[in-house]
């Protein structure tokens, strides 16, 4: 079973923080997007362009089921909490779900010039997606960490103290 699950919008730092947490805890970092890319042998952009978003989402759910059984820290994709099925899978799992809450301004700033995310295109579409997903992130979270104006190291430390406290 995974030990902690990171959620949040694109650019909230799930991959960055997951790596730091896993390094400190000497455990495996599991990144759902990476697993999809490795499994499909295609980039996320290619998957969206060639197979479509539905294919990507189905693969995401299939691999989420498997990865939740593995030991380590899991960084989900930004849209993993988008489906009811995925939210139920996270809910059923006993690992704490940590939501990296990040303002739209911060994520836009962090992702500036990055073209690896097919859903980071027009500002209007990004804004709508952000608004639409907020509730799902909040609802599926056991803990919420605000990441704006904090370094990845500081965020990882906050999460470590949270998890240590939880186990005390």
Ligand X SMILES: Nc1ncnc2c1ncn2[C@@H]1O[C@H](COP(=O)(O)OP(=O)(O)OP(=O)(O)O)[C@@H](O)[C@H]1O
Ligand Y SMILES: O=C(O)C1=C[C@@H](O)[C@@H](O)[C@H](O)C1
Where along the sequence are the contacts to ligand Y (CB under 6 A)? 10, 33, 44, 77-79, 117-119
The stretch near ligand X (CB under 6 A) out of 35-43, 51-59, 91-99, 144-152 is: 144-152
Indicate the residue whose CB is closest to Mg ion.
15
| Positions in 4-33 near Mg ion (CB under 5 A) | 14-15
Of residues 52, 59, 49, 45, the one with CA closest to residue 117: 45
Here the tokens at position 146 are 């605000």
Helices (H) and strands (E) in the chain, counts: 8, 5
Phi-psi region of 26 (alpha: psi -120 to 50; beta: other; left: phi over 0): left
Among positions 60-119, residues that touch ligand X (CB under 6 A) are: 75, 77-78, 110, 117
Q: CB nearer to Mg ion: give 14 or 101.
A: 14
CA neighbor of 73 nearest in space, from 120, 24, 108, 11: 24
CB of 9 to ligand Y, least distance (A): 7
**Cβ–Cβ contacts within 10 Å for residue 84, how many?**
9
| Binding-site size, ligand X (CB under 6 A) | 19
What is d(CA 111, CA 122) in angstroms, rounded to the nearest whole number?
13
**Which of 116/161 has CB closer to ligand Y?**
116
122 is in an annotated binding site: no
Bridge partners, residue 146, by sequence = 101
Q: Where are the alpha helices (DSSP H) in 26-140?
A: 32-40, 44-46, 53-67, 84-92, 104-111, 123-140
Mapped onto helix, strand or coil, the DSSP state of residue 117 is coil
x-marked contacts with ligand X along 33-62 as a string, rule CB under 6 A: x-----------------------------
Minimum distance of ligand X from residue 168's CB (angstroms): 26
Q: Footprint of ligand X on this chain (CB under 6 A)?
A: 8, 10-16, 33, 75, 77-78, 110, 117, 147, 150-152, 155
**Known binding positions:** 11-16, 33, 57, 78, 117, 133
């Amino acid at each position: 079973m995974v030990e902690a699950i990171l959620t949040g919008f694109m650019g909230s730092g799930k991959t960055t923080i997951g790596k730091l947490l896993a390094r400190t805890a000497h455990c495996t970092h599991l990144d759902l997007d990476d697993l999809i890319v490795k499994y499909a042998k295609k980039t996320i952009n290619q998957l969206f362009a060639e197979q479509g978003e539905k294919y990507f989402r189905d693969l995401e759910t299939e691999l989420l089921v498997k990865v939740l059984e593995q030991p380590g820290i899991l960084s989900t994709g930004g849209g993993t909490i988008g489906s009811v099925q995925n939210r139920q899978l996270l809910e059923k799992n006993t690992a704490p779900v940590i939501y990296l809450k990040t303002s739209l301004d911060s994520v836009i700033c962090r992702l500036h010039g990055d073209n690896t995310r097919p859903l980071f295109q027009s500002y209007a579409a990004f804004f709508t997606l952000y608004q639409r997903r907020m509730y799902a992130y909040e609802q599926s979270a056991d803990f919420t960490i605000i990441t704006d104006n904090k370094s990845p190291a500081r965020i990882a430390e906050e999460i470590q103290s949270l998890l240590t406290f939880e186990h005390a």
